[in-house]
Structure 1
């Protein structure tokens, strides 16, 4: 099993052998389960002007499904297609029974201020109080369900301690979930020009119930005057749905290829203070630029990597990772990262090693600042 490195900054790559990353299916269709948050007696967030989360999420999800169903090799399953209440554990069960390749849940955010923007979550222990509050609000729906204590093993949405065990079942799919989340956020940000609140981790119980790559999309704030109008409009819903469906198609194409570019760090906007020039060299730490990862073994020669020299290869579990550069000079590795991106490895990122073992970039830079 591939190892996943978890630290304050979490950096993961996407292995793209379709027999590993996609759920095996009895047919050749790629199965996507679409989940419209809330519904029925549970409206979700409600704005002062009367906008209800459950109505907007359903319209977006139905539009996403309509786009995906244009592809004959994709099968779309909905957890709800009408204004009905569906237990969270049932939503996950629908995806698991279908042996789905992806689970995508769409929600709307709310705040007492004029906060705005879209964010996409993967399952994980809450990384800060804000993420915990978002998850707690979404998870509180279980109190409306019959026998929720039995169905969720005593899980308490109001207790941070309850989140600790949530990640275990989803860890095997975390890197794929991050890739899909990145695709969605990229489309929101660059195609729709929406405010990007990033890819984040939180303990959403609906994601915990699934055993496939899964994401929860907070499409925007219905409490924001402009964003609420946008999300409630036919134009806004169509654009959001198109962005999500295109992200799913990109993910599908990626996992069905043999190798992908390296991906993403969770909560991409990580604050890293540049090291002054006189402190460029960090002893006992080696920096590399990760440019790719995949299940197929490639010779680390320039012709295989768009002309890049000094490429190295390491095996990690079932996957091979490919790195460009080898230096203790942080400024130099930043320059190499920029060069790799210009050569076409758009998602290349810097990784750090100490004594031959992977460490977080933040830890490496903190060591250099001592």
Structure 2
């Protein structure tokens, strides 16, 4: 009997230990920064193609897999793919994959085409406030709908060729507009500053693939397959290495901007010049940490953006107090806190995240005008 009780006790301890490890593993998985990478087109949908034999679906997949391989080197990032082979994924299913993964970012990778020798990169975010902006791009990327079975049922009468059809999706991503633009800007910056690519800029368009995602989302046009020189670059190992490195580093920069960190892991690539990051001091004396304070800079935590004005009382914002509201480009944006101390605003950001505002981020103002967080910290340092 005694032996039986001891065996039960040992079994109980083993089960508790297993559950503890399992709980820790699950928590670690949840805490990871989840990036969904979407290789455009695939299978029966070749996407853009050129007389030189370059196919968008092939280039997009190779670049996407390389971006993922780079990001997966960071233990704090989990990568989810919409496709890893040459298969056809319906447009409506791509954002579903991201939403089901509870992703922090959705990045769709494509190639461009034109009847001229146009060239250059473009990164798109969802249009808010102007459905007709870049309508031709939206039509081209959305027309894959016609290749799907029962598309009339799935898209409820949405017509990729009709400007009116875009009106229903104007505000679906408005909460994430600023973050999407931040990531898009970092991607274009990496293309130009690191690899001397021609950038056509950050643009807005009503793209179905990013309008249903419940997280910051961008669509990258990595270049024109119809341009003889650029098409060859996109199809080359060197070009794909550089493009994937630029995108991955932009994602890492974006994550660290949200984290408020400096000098994280940055992939240097096989054919690319080294990316400059903040260096850790190598002096033998410990450096003294001083509060990052500048009276001319005001830091706030943006927690939401809506098309309709909400009262800033705490019960509208999960109990948070000191909420302010500002109208910008047709949207009402809501901010938590107001301080010149960067360390303080990071604590407030953590508090907002705990309250459920997982997509919140720090913004900076100087003399009442919004400036980039990077410029604010530089101003403080100087």
TM-score range, shorter chain: 0.5 to 0.7
Asked if structure 1 preserves the Cα contact closer than 8 Å seen for 2:297 and 2:340, the reply is: no
Q: Which structure dedicates a bigger proportion of its chain to helix? A: 2
- Cα separation, 2, equivalents of 1:182 and 1:36: 20
Asked if structure 1 preserves the Cα contact closer than 8 Å seen for 2:39 and 2:60, the reply is: yes
CA drift of 1:71 comes to 0.9
- Cα separation, 2, equivalents of 1:120 and 1:147: 30
Question: Relative CO higher for 1 or 2, CA cutoff 8 Å, sep ≥ 6?
Answer: 1
Distance 1:137-1:321 versus aligned 2 partners, 3 A rule: closer
Aligned-pair RMSD on alpha carbons?
3.3
- Cα separation, 2, equivalents of 1:211 and 1:182: 20
Residue 194 in 1 paired to residue 227 in 2?
Answer: no
CA drift of 1:48 comes to 1.0
- Cα separation, 2, equivalents of 1:95 and 1:203: 18
Corresponding residue pairs, total: 274
- Cα separation, 2, equivalents of 1:170 and 1:178: 12
Asked if structure 2 preserves the Cα contact closer than 8 Å seen for 1:155 and 1:162, the reply is: yes
Residue 121 in 1 paired to residue 143 in 2?
Answer: no
Which residue does the alignment assign to 2:366? 324
Distance 1:179-1:246 versus aligned 2 partners, 3 A rule: same
CA drift of 1:303 comes to 12
Residue 178 in 1 paired to residue 178 in 2?
Answer: no
CA drift of 1:168 comes to 2.3
- Cα separation, 2, equivalents of 1:152 and 1:301: 48
Q: In the TM superposition, what are the counterparts of 1:124-273 in structure 2 within 5 Å?
A: 124=127, 131-257=134-260
- Cα separation, 2, equivalents of 1:323 and 1:94: 36
Distance 1:175-1:341 versus aligned 2 partners, 3 A rule: closer
CA drift of 1:253 comes to 1.2
- Cα separation, 2, equivalents of 1:304 and 1:27: 26
- Cα separation, 1, equivalents of 2:215 and 2:133: 26
- Following TM superposition, the consecutive aligned residue runs of length 4 or more in structure 1 with deviations greater than 3 angstroms are 125-130, 289-293, 295-305, 317-323, 340-343
Distance 1:291-1:38 versus aligned 2 partners, 3 A rule: farther
Q: TM-score, normalised by structure 1?
A: 0.67
Which residue does the alignment assign to 1:66? 69
SS at match of 2:87: coil
Distance 1:73-1:158 versus aligned 2 partners, 3 A rule: same
Asked if structure 1 preserves the Cα contact closer than 8 Å seen for 2:145 and 2:151, the reply is: yes
- Cα separation, 2, equivalents of 1:243 and 1:222: 19
- Cα separation, 2, equivalents of 1:197 and 1:234: 23
Distance 1:243-1:300 versus aligned 2 partners, 3 A rule: same
SS at match of 1:95: helix
SS at match of 1:200: strand
Residue 57 in 1 paired to residue 60 in 2?
Answer: yes
CA drift of 1:238 comes to 0.6
Query: Which digits, 9 at most, give the CA deviation of each residue in 1:170-197, with x for residues without a partner?
Result: 1111111111111101101111111111
CA drift of 1:297 comes to 3.6
Residue 294 in 1 paired to residue 301 in 2?
Answer: yes
- Cα separation, 2, equivalents of 1:126 and 1:136: 18
CA drift of 1:157 comes to 0.4
Larger Rg: 2
